Amino acid sequence: MNNIDHEKAFIEIIQQNERIIYKVCSFYISDDATLGDLYQDVVSNLWVAYPKFRSECAISTWIYRIALNTCISSVRKELKKPQRVPLSQLPDIFEQTEDSSPDVSELYRLIYQLKDMERAIILLYLEEKSYQQIADIVGLTVCNVAIKLKRTKEKLLSMSNK
């Protein structure tokens, strides 16, 4: 594959998976300017890693893993928790469905208060990823994913009852 074909294939992959990248980034940002920067960091890291992608997992799994690692690393570098951003200020990256309601907005507000790993796991769960896919993406065992997911759901439930 020559450089032009390689570049075109990469651009197509990014375009097909843009929503995944934006969704992951939106869970780790404090303002719109940071969202663009974080998105660029993720795409840059994907570009660097692309030649090493061996198709041993789904492309979306690979993208989730790099996006989550990039976002978590970015948050850790700043050594502070991101500010809370009302969902109304985020770009319209979440699909509007019949289920969109104040309850969904409240769920996302609570998710923003979770720790990085909890947020990553619940994001992937809400994206209907299997426990195995979540484990592959975040680098945990399936058993650990199940335990952390159960605890995170319990935490969200207790947060919503306050």
Domain that holds residue 112: 3-160
Q: Is the pLDDT higher at 92 or at 2?
A: 2
Distance CA 27, CA 54 (A): 28
67-100 tens-digit pLDDT: 999 988 887 776 554 455 554 544 444 444 445 5
Q: Is the pLDDT higher at 132 or at 84?
A: 132
Residue 124 reports pLDDT greater than 80: yes
pLDDT at 60: 92
Q: How many folded domains does the chain comprise?
A: 1
CB atoms within 10 A of CB 52: 7
pLDDT at 101: 67
Q: How is 72-103 classified by DSSP, letter by letter? A: HHHHHHHTSPPPP--GGGS-S-SPP-TT-SHH
The predicted model scores a pTM of 0.65
114-123 tens-digit pLDDT: 888 899 999 8
19-76 tens-digit pLDDT: 999 989 888 876 656 888 899 999 999 999 999 888 888 999 999 999 999 988 887 7
Sign, CA dihedral 20-23-26-32, equals positive
* Residue 113 pLDDT level (bands cut at 50, 70, 90): confident
Residues, the chain: 162
pLDDT at 40: 94
pLDDT at 42: 95
pLDDT at 35: 86
Token pair, residue 42, equals 């993720």
- Range 136-143 average pLDDT: 90
